[in-house]
């Protein structure tokens, strides 16, 4: 069922006060001093899920939860067996993060449903807003915990991962927050990909590309996959600072050489027009024994490599391992990469992306296409075979920091595009 662009924009604009109230309450209830602290499977994330569940109940949506304690707010359709439209994002944050990363996608879904109800849409299929748990992998160093649990694709070993600050297992945290880790371990799933028409996610941009371009929003063209080594190390030998170079087993110099070799590889790929990102998030000597007069015999690092092409990821990892072998032999050290984690490339559905672009044009909203530099729950749905679409909202200061910024006018533009797509496909 189509509505005039002016009607959709007016109905969305009428949601401004509700949208602002939800964002204000989310910020008030999860202060991180500085920034926001919606810790994964902790007090901050729990607060956000209670807040959106209460809002959903007040809005006469059907509220439910699954074994991973994800939250579902459903606007029932006339044909319950028809594949549903699923809208959502995560409600957790990084430590001392911002208020909009993730939460914007949940609030957008709620605003779109409220606007379409006011316009008189009678959906044929269920339209569900999903508040997703545990997208921020910094807490357990595992990607897409909530979404993959719901889809039945979370690796069993992930439940034994430990939260970086509490030391408690993911299974323990899930159970404490009202979930059922044993059901996840058995492979039970809340969501059958065959029963999902599409997964749609609104998210702030994570680098200020739209801000630089002067555009309010973008339609996502792809989500990178990755491989990660969260706790890698290099072992050499602690020596006196006066030890000649030929006798050294210097773990820190090996780490520095490794980082620069990967940076050259990245530069080479970039020059060839191949999108890639390589990040050493942790990079340090052993704090217990390092010092001014000691040659480091132990070095720690974490590594995140992401790209939009599985072949590029595979080739980069192969070349990385060859670099490691060469450094080990020449510098007389040993690399211990530890546990490996990975996430699949998220292929955005071309039809959905095109339809969203068309909707923006009809609504008179300037937009562009933009590849995501970051990982998103949409990628987990794409890997499970669900058609996905994403809309990015302009954000001046990047994300994962207290200065995340989003103009409500820009956000409402994204909600209007989202509502237009739902109206065209839910009836």
| Distance from C-alpha of 243 to C-alpha of 250, rounded to nearest angstrom | 10
343 has a pLDDT exceeding 90: no
At residue 17, what are phi and psi to the nearest 5 degrees?
A: -65, -40
Pick the CATH number of 226-343 from 3.40.50.2020, 3.40.50.150, 1.10.357.10, 3.30.70.360: 3.30.70.360
The pair of structure tokens assigned to 155 is 């690796």
Binned at pLDDT 50, 70 and 90, residue 373 comes out as confident
Q: Is 101 annotated as a binding residue?
A: yes
pLDDT of residue 156: 84
pLDDT of residue 44: 97
Alpha helices in 14-157 (DSSP H): 16-28, 43-58, 103-118, 145-151
> To which residue do tokens 């590849």 refer?
371
Predicted confidence (pLDDT) per residue in 305-319, tens digit: 999 999 999 999 999
pLDDT of residue 103: 97
| C-alpha torsion angle, residues 49, 51, 57, 60 (rounded to 10) | -100
Biggest distance spanned by C-alpha atoms of the chain: 80
Please check whether residue 96 is in contact with residue 399, taking contact to mean a CB–CB distance below 8 angstroms. Answer: no
Number of Cβ within 10 Å of residue 38's Cβ equals 28
Mean pLDDT of 403-413: 96
Mean pLDDT of 374-386: 92
Region class of 296: left (phi > 0), else alpha (psi between -120 and 50), else beta: beta
Binned at pLDDT 50, 70 and 90, residue 1 comes out as low
* Residue 149 CA, distance from chain mean position: 15
Q: Is 90 annotated as a binding residue?
A: yes
pLDDT of residue 223: 86
Q: Is 136 annotated as a binding residue?
A: yes
Q: Is 300 annotated as a binding residue?
A: no
Tell me the CATH architecture of domain 5-223+346-426.
3-Layer(aba) Sandwich (3.40)
Number of Cβ within 10 Å of residue 270's Cβ equals 12
Binned at pLDDT 50, 70 and 90, residue 420 comes out as very high
Q: Is 284 annotated as a binding residue?
A: no
Please check whether residue 239 is in contact with residue 297, taking contact to mean a CB–CB distance below 8 angstroms. Answer: yes
Predicted confidence (pLDDT) per residue in 44-55, tens digit: 999 999 999 999
| Distance from C-alpha of 180 to C-alpha of 195, rounded to nearest angstrom | 22
Predicted confidence (pLDDT) per residue in 121-176, tens digit: 999 999 999 999 999 999 999 999 999 999 999 998 999 999 999 999 999 999 99
At residue 372, what are phi and psi to the nearest 5 degrees?
A: -75, 135
| Distance from C-alpha of 34 to C-alpha of 16, rounded to nearest angstrom | 26
| Distance from C-alpha of 243 to C-alpha of 265, rounded to nearest angstrom | 32
Number of Cβ within 10 Å of residue 318's Cβ equals 10
Instruction: Give the angle 316-341-258 at the CA atoms, nearest 5°.
Output: 45
CA proximity to 147, closest of 191, 101, 182, 198: 191
- Listed in sequence order, the residues at least 6 apart from 196 whose beta carbon sits closer than 8 Å to its beta carbon are 83, 84, 85, 86, 381, 386
| Distance from C-alpha of 419 to C-alpha of 109, rounded to nearest angstrom | 8
Residue ranges per structural domain of the chain: 5-223+346-426, 226-343
């Amino acid at each position: 069922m189509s509505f005039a662009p002016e009607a959709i924009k007016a109905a969305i604009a009428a949601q401004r006060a509700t949208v602002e109230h939800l964002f204000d309450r989310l910020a008030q209830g999860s202060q991180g001093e500085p920034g926001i602290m919606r810790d994964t499977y902790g007090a901050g994330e729990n607060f956000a899920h209670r807040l959106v569940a209460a809002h959903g109940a007040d809005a006469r949506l059907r509220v439910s939860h699954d074994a991973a304690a994800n939250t579902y707010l459903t606007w029932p359709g006339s044909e319950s067996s028809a594949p549903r439209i699923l809208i959502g994002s995560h409600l957790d944050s990084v430590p001392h993060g911002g208020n909009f990363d993730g939460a914007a996608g949940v609030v957008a879904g709620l605003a779109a449903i409220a606007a379409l109800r006011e316009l008189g849409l009678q959906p044929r299929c269920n339209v569900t807003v999903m508040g997703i748990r545990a997208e921020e992998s910094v807490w357990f160093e595992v990607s897409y915990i909530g979404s993959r649990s719901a889809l039945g694709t979370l690796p069993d070993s992930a439940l034994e991962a430990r939260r970086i600050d509490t030391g408690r297992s993911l299974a323990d945290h899930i159970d404490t927050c009202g979930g059922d880790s044993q059901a996840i371990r058995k492979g039970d799933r809340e969501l059958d990909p065959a029963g999902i028409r599409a997964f749609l996610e609104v998210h702030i941009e994570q680098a200020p590309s739209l801000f630089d371009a002067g555009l309010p929003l973008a339609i996502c063209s792809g989500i990178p996959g990755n491989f990660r080594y969260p706790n890698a190390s290099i072992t050499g030998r602690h020596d006196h600072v006066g030890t000649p170079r030929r006798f050294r087993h210097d773990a820190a110099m090996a780490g520095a050489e490794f980082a620069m070799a990967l940076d050259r590889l990245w530069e080479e790929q970039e020059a060839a027009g191949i999108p890639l990102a390589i990040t050493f998030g942790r990079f340090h000597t052993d704090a217990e024994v390092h010092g001014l007069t000691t040659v480091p015999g132990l070095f720690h690092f974490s590594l995140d490599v992401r790209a939009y092409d599985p072949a590029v990821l595979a080739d980069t990892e192969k070349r990385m391992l060859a670099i490691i072998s060469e450094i080990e032999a020449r510098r007389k050290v040993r690399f211990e990469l530890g546990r490996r984690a990975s996430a699949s490339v998220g292929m955005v559905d071309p039809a959905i992306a095109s339809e969203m672009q068309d909707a923006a044009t009809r609504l008179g909203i300037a937009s562009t296409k933009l590849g995501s530099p970051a990982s998103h729950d949409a990628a987990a749905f794409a890997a499970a075979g669900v058609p996905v679409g994403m809309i990015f909202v302009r954000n001046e200061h990047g994300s994962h920091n207290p200065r995340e910024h989003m103009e409500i006018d820009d956000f409402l533009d994204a909600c209007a595009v989202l509502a237009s797509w739902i109206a065209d496909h839910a009836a």
